[in-house]
Structure 1
Amino acid sequence: MTANEMYETSEPGAAGKRRDDDARLTACAAPGRHWFGLSGTFHTLEALFTITRWGALAWTAQAVMDRATAHETWGLVAFAVTSVLAVCAGWTAGTLADRGARAVATGLRQQLTGALLPTAGRISETGPAEAAWAMVDLADDVADFHAQAVPLRRSAPLSMVAVLAVTAAVHWPAAIVLVLTTALLPLNMRLAGLFAQHGADRQLAATRHLNAVVLDSFRGIRTLRELGAAGRRGRTLTTATERLNKATMSVLRRAFLSGMIMDVVITFSIAVNATYIGLSLLGYVHVPHAPRLTLFTGLVVLLVCPMYFAPMRARASAFHQRERAMIAAGAIRDIVKDTPAAVTRAAVPELTEPVGVSLTAVRFRYSGADHDTINVDADFAPGTWTAITGASGSGKSTLLSLIAGLRRPSAGAVRWRTLSVRQAPVLGGSAWVGQQTVLLDATVRDNIRLGRPEATEQQIRRAVDAAGLSAVIEGLPEGLNTRLGEGGWGVSTGEARRIAIARAFLRGARLWLLDEPTAHLDADSEREVVEALRRATEGCTVVIVTHSFPLAAAAHTVLAIDDGLLHDARPVNAR
């Protein structure tokens, strides 16, 4: 029975959607298919060695009964050798399957990375909680399923045929019992898949909700404490956890029920064969034309019978994992859809030339919005500072992201220009300093050269001087080798901003985009950051989004943005 047959519904298009989901899930296995194929081969060898091992054990038992010492010795040797071979084959199969799973997970994470990071003018709208969930959990869900299912698909038929053939060869009535019992299994396989998709949907929705709650809680813990809302947030977290627990228990109950029925079927088959063999050995039962049962043939049948049902048991348990993997593959598909298969990276403008910016009839509208967020015609001259002010939500940061190439305009064109180049924005061609400085749990030196790992010590020192960090570095316990805690523990907010300036300076970009670089700073720290920016951006083009008057006063031109429109350009002589 196929997976499609198990989950057919009367809903129009359900079968077609199921086929599409199957095809999508199958395609995910491509990076690890070679390893999975080898794993299936070794699983088959494990089954053959195990059959031989039980045959050797039965042979040894018969030899003990017959007092054939030579046969006992050879039987024990054969049992030991085949046991070692079976263990080795099983270990190799597991290792190969793990390697294939890593290849699948890596391939999926590479796709997600390409979709979540800005590429070719496209920026992902996926939230950080869902992105982390997809990277950490969903890729592993798909990989783990394939690591179990693909090798099983290759090895199960061969293993079952081998067991059935050996059973038929030594005593064919026992093989008939196995075949008849097999007919009961499709009903249980249907039960294994019954409502599995609904249960997996609920569980993954609850997981997604809990991930978002946890991430938002950690990210806003300081604000929650200041507002006295930590307790309420804790109750929200508890509710989300209970919801996930209920969904998980529902899935486990279904798995337990189908597993229990599978065990009943298997136990019934083994019990029938055991009873038949026992009564036959005692002389109470004899099937016409059947070969005479001996201790050897009876033990072989009893020992290999459980092996016949092992692949079916594994297949039944995989149905629930399959539903989880299919939903995971669908979620990943929704994230990576429309991602360019390959991104052609344009040449970064010459670093010796300041970069001007032209916006020609540029409009930008978010998906689902009923009006444009940006509607702009503007030119920013090379080598100048331009400050953009406006109310929160007026489109300042969106405009900056269009200039950087993080977003693609809905209409119009954004162009960078130098004396020799005129082209669309290039990701990585500009330096970005925002109001939230990302500092890694690493040394000051490693944080500064984050965007240019090959930078020399002299280049790092120049960046430190340009950002006005020399005195700060001298005051740290180990200078540039001082390790900053996660989130920048060990330096003030103003010092962290200047580390970001040094990092941007080291990049060597001649276009700087600044998004509220002095936000949340006191007057002294703001003055130090503005002075650092003046030194670091000498001869560069700078576009600043800010609410700060001192920072705006440092610009050549100040523009106001209101409902996406730029106006009130005026010269500023304060610089």
Structure 2
Amino acid sequence: MTTNNANKANKANERKARDARNETSGPGSAAQRLDDDAWLTACAAPGRRWFGLAGTLQALETMVTITRWGALAWLAQGVLERAVTQETRGLAVFAVASALAVGAGWAAGALAERGARAVATDLRRRLTGALLPAAGRTSETGPAEAAWAMVDLADDVADHHAQAAPLRRSAPLSMLAVPAVTAAVHWPAALVLVLTTALLPLNMRLAGLFAQHGADRQLGATRHLNAVVLDSFRGMRTLRELGAAGRRGRTVTTAAERLNKATMSVLRRAFLSGMIMDVVITFSLAVNATYVGLSLLGYVRVPHAPQLTLFSGLLVLLICPVHFAPMRARAAAFHERERATTAARAIRDIVTDTPAGTPRPAARPGLSEPVGVSLAAVRFRYGGADHDTIRADAELDPGTWTALTGPSGSGKSTLLSLIAGLRRPTGGEVRWQTLSVRQPPALGGCAWVGQQTVLLDATVRDNIRLGRPDATERHIRRAVDAAGLDAVIERLPEGLNTRLGEGGWGVSTGEARRIAIARAFLRGARLWLLDEPTAHLDADSERAVVAALRRATEGCTVVVATHSFPLAAAADTVLVIEDGRLHAVGSVNAP
């Protein structure tokens, strides 16, 4: 019994300790919240100059608007007293102030938008650096989440700063200016305004009380729907062959309904907080209007207070909404901040995915030097896996062809990505070596040809030039010849100027592969990595692609992952992956 009680006590203590750790460092903890807020605030740095100017113009707009309503009240007083000079001057001041207010508001909006573009551009640049192989970093972020972060989340953060950052400069001045002017013409009205304003901070707290939970749910639902839709499009052919398209459609529908519910929940909360804000503001305006009306009628008299005239009473009523406008905007920005915080957290998870101290890639080897590959006790394990995907220890000589074979899913593509530097090994090291240099893989320093060839909606020339944007016509012609594309180009109606892609000319899978080979040749890399380059080709197309590869890679080091016997037979050395280990086979001789 004593032992059981002790075990229960230990478990209770462990649970309390775990809860304490979660409270101090978990996703919803105060420390995590402060960290998220600090990172979100730092995102505004690229647009801070424009936001500051926008805030100054917003404050100027408030001052000019107060002047405009003062001129209107003065004009009304002149009309009542039939003072023609006062009417004329009041009308002129009203017109000029109105034009200035419109101009200041437009300029403030344009500057805030410019700042938002600067913030979004900076976030997309940082996302690009994290998602694409650059500066020695890699990312395992899925394409759906990556596209979502690029397109939507960066704009969510930028739009929040475009709304909130200028307000931080303009709101205090605007909210002090109206009570100050009101106190100058009739201090009891200013006192009523200040007392009714005290109700608003509570509402602003209510505005964001449940917003974070709703934003997190919406974020999760959107991420799930993006992944489901992308996977569905990728596997559409397989789904059709299995007759599972209908079931997959129901899965997409369920994910869409989940997102719809999360979005409606966020909208309901926003509507509720906005409604409460409107009620508080309407109450304040009603109290001031009642006081002004009763004072003008003589029913209310405050001792030692100046007499309320048509000018002062009308001015108080006209500038009251100006006083509450920044508060309404701050309440909206407060709600949007929760959405921006959630977006910033998702972006930060992507851009800070690389451990500190990751080395920058070394310089790319000279193009004239053959490149060998050294795999020294290389191990790679995917996050969360309980075993290594691949173990490799081999030396690939410069200027040779090496074929990687093995069952599907054995790790051939993973090993190629390790050689290319697209992934970092869990253990061991990958080195490129030449006669003068031994270095880690230089991202972008090798040529990659895979089984999926992407052809842009552009001409054949432009599709080939992707490998080297500054290539001359002579370079392109050499690439066409090396890839064996001469006959294909002659067949096309406009030769290299023939447009491919949607609405353009079509080419076969084998011809598309040869265009990819021409791209790779144009890069001038001396290390080629080929991932199933002859997959899904008939025998004739496969022979043509192998011949093109042999011509294009003369004098280069080639590592090719393949199931094809003819392609493996063309290699100098064959390595097989069995049970995650790389073994040497030697060479394959065609019968």
For the criterion TM > 0.5, the same-fold answer is yes
Q: Of residues 472, 483, 489 in structure 2, which corresponds to 1:456?
A: 472
Taking the TM superposition and a 5 Å limit, the aligned residue runs for 1:161-560 are 161-339=176-354, 344-486=360-502, 490-560=506-576
TM-aligned CA deviation for residue 236 of structure 1: 1.7
Q: Cα–Cα, structure 1 residues 341 and 133, in superposed 2: closer, same or farther, change >3 Å?
A: farther
Residues 268-312 of structure 1 show CA distances to partners (whole Å, capped at 9, x for unaligned) of 111111111111111222111111111111110000001111111
TM-aligned CA deviation for residue 538 of structure 1: 0.9
Unpaired stretches in structure 1, ≥5 consecutive residues: 1-8
The 2-side partners of 1:39 and 1:345 are apart by 41
The 1-side partners of 2:21 and 2:171 are apart by 31
Q: More displaced, 482-491 or 516-525?
A: 482-491
The 1-side partners of 2:323 and 2:200 are apart by 12
Q: More displaced, 46-55 or 482-491?
A: 482-491
TM-aligned CA deviation for residue 252 of structure 1: 1.1
The 2-side partners of 1:299 and 1:388 are apart by 85
Q: Cα–Cα, structure 1 residues 414 and 338, in superposed 2: closer, same or farther, change >3 Å?
A: same
* Residue identity opposite 1:262 in structure 2: M
- SS in structure 1 opposite 2:402? strand
TM-aligned CA deviation for residue 571 of structure 1: 3.0
Q: More displaced, 351-360 or 51-60?
A: 351-360
Q: Residue in 1 aligned with 2:170? A: 155
Q: Residue in 2 aligned with 1:49? A: 64
Q: More displaced, 12-21 or 553-562?
A: 12-21
TM-aligned CA deviation for residue 15 of structure 1: 2.2
Residues 469-494 of structure 1 show CA distances to partners (whole Å, capped at 9, x for unaligned) of 11111111211111111599611111
RMSD over aligned Cα atoms: 1.9
TM-aligned CA deviation for residue 207 of structure 1: 1.1
Residues 77-97 of structure 1 show CA distances to partners (whole Å, capped at 9, x for unaligned) of 100101110011001110111
The 2-side partners of 1:492 and 1:402 are apart by 31
Q: Cα–Cα, structure 1 residues 88 and 175, in superposed 2: closer, same or farther, change >3 Å?
A: same
The 2-side partners of 1:422 and 1:29 are apart by 42
- SS in structure 1 opposite 2:410? coil
Q: Cα–Cα, structure 1 residues 342 and 40, in superposed 2: closer, same or farther, change >3 Å?
A: farther
Q: Residue in 2 aligned with 1:103? A: 118
The 2-side partners of 1:487 and 1:108 are apart by 34
Q: Residue in 2 aligned with 1:33? A: 48
* Residue identity opposite 2:377 in structure 1: A
Contact 1:386–1:559 (CA<8 Å) still a contact in 2? yes
Q: Residue in 1 aligned with 2:156? A: 141
The 1-side partners of 2:90 and 2:287 are apart by 28
TM-aligned CA deviation for residue 12 of structure 1: 3.0
Query: How many percent of aligned residue pairs carry the same amino acid?
Result: 81
Taking the TM superposition and a 5 Å limit, the aligned residue runs for 1:17-96 are 17-96=32-111
- SS in structure 1 opposite 2:23? coil
The 1-side partners of 2:35 and 2:582 are apart by 47
TM-aligned CA deviation for residue 507 of structure 1: 0.6
- SS in structure 2 opposite 1:378? strand
Q: More displaced, 474-483 or 340-349?
A: 340-349
TM-aligned CA deviation for residue 344 of structure 1: 3.7
TM-aligned CA deviation for residue 10 of structure 1: 13
* Residue identity opposite 1:257 in structure 2: L
The 2-side partners of 1:370 and 1:57 are apart by 76
Contact 1:510–1:540 (CA<8 Å) still a contact in 2? yes
Contact 2:136–2:360 (CA<8 Å) still a contact in 1? no
Residues 101-139 of structure 1 show CA distances to partners (whole Å, capped at 9, x for unaligned) of 111111111111111112354321110101011111111
The 1-side partners of 2:391 and 2:383 are apart by 16
TM-aligned CA deviation for residue 341 of structure 1: 9.1
The 2-side partners of 1:275 and 1:122 are apart by 65
The 2-side partners of 1:214 and 1:77 are apart by 60
Report whether the alignment pairs 1:132 with 2:140.
no
How many residue pairs match? The answer is 567
Q: Cα–Cα, structure 1 residues 566 and 487, in superposed 2: closer, same or farther, change >3 Å?
A: farther
Report whether the alignment pairs 1:565 with 2:576.
no
The 2-side partners of 1:240 and 1:498 are apart by 40
- SS in structure 2 opposite 1:375? strand
- SS in structure 2 opposite 1:513? strand
The 1-side partners of 2:111 and 2:561 are apart by 53
Contact 2:575–2:585 (CA<8 Å) still a contact in 1? yes
* Residue identity opposite 1:250 in structure 2: S
Q: More displaced, 16-25 or 40-49?
A: 16-25
TM-aligned CA deviation for residue 233 of structure 1: 2.0
- SS in structure 2 opposite 1:12? helix
The 2-side partners of 1:11 and 1:346 are apart by 41
Q: TM-score with structure 2 length normalisation?
A: 0.93
Contact 1:439–1:488 (CA<8 Å) still a contact in 2? no
Residues 312-363 of structure 1 show CA distances to partners (whole Å, capped at 9, x for unaligned) of 1111122221111111111111111144799744221121122111111212
Contact 2:136–2:358 (CA<8 Å) still a contact in 1? no
* Residue identity opposite 2:265 in structure 1: S
Q: Residue in 2 aligned with 1:4? A: none
TM-aligned CA deviation for residue 572 of structure 1: 3.8
